[in-house]
Amino acid sequence: TDYLARIAALNPSLNAYVSVDAAKTLAEAAAADAARAAGTAGFLTGVPLAYKDIFCQQGWKTSCGSKMLDNFVAPYDAHVVEKCRAACLVSLGRTNMDEFAMGSSNENSFYGAVKNPWDLAAIPGGSSGGSAAAVAARLAPAALGTDTGGSIRQPASHCGITGIKPTYGVVSRFGMVAYASSLDQGGPMAQTAEDCAQLMNVIAGFDERDSTSLERAAEDYTRELGQPLSGLRVGLPREYFADGLSGDVASVIENAVNELKKLGAEVVEVSLPNTELSIPAYYVIAPAEASSNLSRYDGVRYGHRAAEYGDLTEMYEKTRAEGFGSEVKRRILVGTYVLSHGYYDAYYLKAQKIRRLIAGDFQRAFGDCDVILGPVAPTAAFNLGEKSGDPVQMYLSDVYTLSVNLAGLPAMSVPAGFAANGRPVGLQIIGNYFSEAKMLNVAHQFQ
């Protein structure tokens, strides 16, 4: 009830939640109390949690920030929601996001922009901006987000919270509205690395309903918390500290690296030479997959349907013209173009080759270090409206996050300090495949 009261008081100015339903939340809380009374409570029983509006949650509107799904009530739970229900976590509601998770500022939502709780003139980051703002403003102790090209790490960085994007395949995508299926991965956002680790213990694990879900033994993501960092080899990629990184973000990262040195870490320079190519490669691959995934919104099976139309083709056209926002339409157009006959080899295939090079860069770097550190974004949160008219400027702000998704690696953002304008700055920790527990410990030691 404390959280519901804070939501009622503060959400009108932040716009972090798009749906809350006090009756449902209180019923789940009562069930958690009953579990506690019956002695069947688990470690997280009764802990409140917010869901990004991308995860299907039975009986809740699951709109993915889009007019297209504004009338869609999920008939089933996503795998992660199922897991959280089983752990008796209490759902606080659904958080705002960029439409279909496309964006870096949370200004692309059908439900309006989210504000950054640290400074209402600033963007919270995107696309999981509602989740980040809710946690930062204490409207939820933790939230789930998704990260296709930075959407957990970048809003976590801009809102001064901790968020982790797991290794691709560790968290099931079943029931998570698809954006770019080979890149999408769900993960926790919370105040601390320890809280994220606890949530990873709940949501990670094999699910046969997601064909890319990995069959691995369950692991305890808290197991390395508290281990000393002495001997840890930390890699700083030369390309992440070059032109384009703002001075105040650079000095926050430098201080963070010095802190880790004091804790016993050794610093080495590494190189990720294809970093710059991550932007063009990602903005070919992600729209290509999106154009295919979003073809399901045809006005027939579910979601928005135009009220008036002549024939079937006109129904499709009007439905999609009305239901999608402009960024989503841009991505569908780009994606359809790069996949079309005659352009496929020049764009899509080339982007896939670059993807392989990027994954190779990381493997070479991990020969010399255990984790890679760097900024999450080139600047602290920019102002609302500052980049929304210029998609290329917006895409460029993803330069340090996209390559991780292209390689399928785990990465996180942990609060590291503040920019000159007082806005939070996160440190990015990138690990090799399945090194979540190690990364969470690096973040934990640092907090």
Answer yes or no: are the C-beta atoms of 149 and 286 closer than 8 Å: yes
Give the DSSP H/E element, type plus range, for residue 416: strand 411-418
Residue 153 structure tokens: 């790490």
d(CA 112, CA 17): 11
Contacting residue, 150, 166, 175, 415, with ligand GLN by CB under 6 A: 150
| Long-range contacts, 291-297 (Cβ 8 Å, 24+) | 291/331, 291/332, 291/333, 291/334, 291/335, 291/336, 291/339, 292/335, 292/339, 293/178, 293/179, 293/180, 293/181, 294/100, 294/324, 294/328, 294/332, 297/68, 297/69, 297/323, 297/324
Structure tokens at 209: 């309903």
Q: Measured from the CB atom, is 145 or 323 closer to ligand GLN?
A: 145
Give the count of alpha carbons within 13 A of 148, CB side only: 26
- DSSP assigned state of 114: P
3-class DSSP string for 205-262: CCCCCCCCCCCCCCCCCCCCCCCCCCCCEEEEEHHHHCCCCCHHHHHHHHHHHHHHHH
- Written as six digits, the tokens of 298 are 């045809």
Q: How far is the CB of 398 from ligand GLN (least distance, A)?
A: 5
The two counts, helices (H) then strands (E), for the chain are: 14, 11
Q: Which helix (H) or strand (E) holds 201?
A: helix 193-203
Give yes or no: 181 in active site: no
Q: How far is the CB of 400 from ligand GLN (least distance, A)?
A: 12
Q: Which of 151, 172, 388, 413 is catalytic?
A: 151
Scanning 45-53, 101-109, 113-121, 190-198 for contacts with ligand GLN by CB under 6 A, the matching segment is: 101-109
**Which of these ranges, 23-31, 149-157, 291-299, 434-442, lies near ligand GLN under the rule CB under 6 A?**
149-157
Q: Which residue of the set 91, 104, 127, 435 is catalytic?
A: 127
Among the candidate windows 45-53, 143-151, 214-222, 381-389, which touches ligand GLN by CB under 6 A? 143-151
Calpha distance 447→441 (Å, rounded): 10
- Smallest distance, ligand GLN to C-beta of residue 148, A: 4
Give the footprint of ligand GLN on residues 106-135 (CB under 6 A).
127
151 in catalytic set: yes
The answer to whether 97 and 54 have CB atoms below 8 angstroms apart is: yes
CA distance linking residue 417 with residue 439, whole number of Å:
19
Of 101 and 197, the one with the shorter C-beta distance to ligand GLN is 101
Nearer to ligand GLN, 65 or 374 (CB): 65
| Identity of the residue, 229 or 430, whose beta carbon is nearer to ligand GLN in the bound complex | 430
Using CB under 6 A, which of 104, 131, 319, 441 touches ligand GLN?
Answer: 104
Contact between 293 and ligand GLN by CB under 6 A: the answer reads no
The answer to the question of residue 284 lying near ligand GLN (CB under 6 A) is no
User: Would strands 17-19 and 90-95 be described as parallel, antiparallel, or unpaired?
Assistant: antiparallel
Q: Residue 172 CB, nearest distance to ligand GLN (Å)?
A: 17
Listed residue (199, 2, 191) closest to 81, CA to CA: 199
**Residue 101 is a binding residue for ligand GLN (CB under 6 A):** yes
Q: What contacts 239, CB < 8 A, 6 or more positions away? A: 271, 272, 273, 275, 276
Which residue in the set 14, 16, 286, 442 belongs to the binding site for ligand GLN (CB under 6 A)? 286
> Scanning residues 160 to 189, which ones bind ligand GLN (CB under 6 A)?
179
Task: Please give the backbone phi and psi of residue 278, each rounded to the nearest 5 degrees, phi first.
Answer: -65, -35
Query: Could you give the string, one character per residue 343-382, with x where binding to ligand GLN holds by CB under 6 A and - elsewhere?
Result: ----------------------------------------
Complex with ligand GLN: residue 205 or 335, whichever CB lies closer = 335
Question: Of 288, 398, 404, 411, which lies in the binding site for ligand GLN, with binding defined by CB under 6 A?
Answer: 398
Q: Give me the 239-278 binding string for ligand GLN, x by CB under 6 A, dash otherwise.
A: ----------------------------------------
Question: Any catalytic annotation for residue 353?
Answer: no
CB nearer ligand GLN, residue 48 or residue 375:
375
Catalytic residues: 52, 127, 151
Contact positions vs ligand GLN (CB under 6 A): 101-104, 127, 147-151, 179, 286, 398
